[in-house]
Amino acid sequence: MGVILADQPELWEVCKAKGATETEKFVLWLIQGATSDHPITIADIQTRARGPELKSLISSREIKDFVRACRQEGMPILARRGGSPGYYWCKDRDEMKGFAERFIKQATDELKTLRKMLEQNYPSLISELWPEESNRRLYGR
């Protein structure tokens, strides 16, 4: 029995091209069936991926890495923290916008944190890691 990715034949093609395992396809199928109101947690994915045909256990790191790889292929897998946490399939523009705003805020915050750590401890790394920053300081750009 292969996992069918409902109403999304292009997902099957991406999975096939990437050599996704049956377990990974099953994980994607679970996430595709989840919604913003009822997301699926990593623990739920791990529990449900233990069926007779999906013999191997999947770690939380493997799930996160697989989700990242799917997102890098453009798949609209969103996530929520707190309240009712978990992964879910984006159903509309508003869900994507809310997720994108949180994602951008998180990435921006992490870069600001890293910059402060570098400034305080290893300022020379700033110009190595962000050459455009050193050009801005040197040439006023």
Q: How many C-beta atoms lie closer than 10 Å to residue 123's C-beta?
A: 9
What ranges do the domains of the chain cover? 1-91, 92-141
Query: 134: part of which helix (H) or strand (E)?
Result: helix 131-139
CATH number for the domain formed by residue range(s) 1-91: 1.10.10.10
Inter-residue contact 6 to 67 (CB < 8 Å) = no
Q: What is the pLDDT of residues 6-21, one digit of tens each?
A: 556 666 666 766 778 8
By the 8 A CB rule, do 76 and 67 touch? no
Place of tokens 């916008």: 97
pLDDT of residue 87: 97
DSSP state of 36: S
**Residue pLDDT, tens place only, 46-94:** 988 876 555 567 889 999 999 999 999 899 999 998 888 999 999 999 9
How many Å apart are CA 14 and CA 23, to the nearest integer? 15
User: Position of tokens 């509309």?
Assistant: 92
In degrees and rounded to multiples of 5, residue 24 shows phi and psi of -65, -40
Q: What is the model's pTM?
A: 0.76
Neighbour-count burial of 69, counting CB atoms closer than 10 A to its CB (0-12 exposed, 13-18 middle, 19+ buried): middle
CA-to-CA distance for 66 and 78, rounded, in angstroms? 13
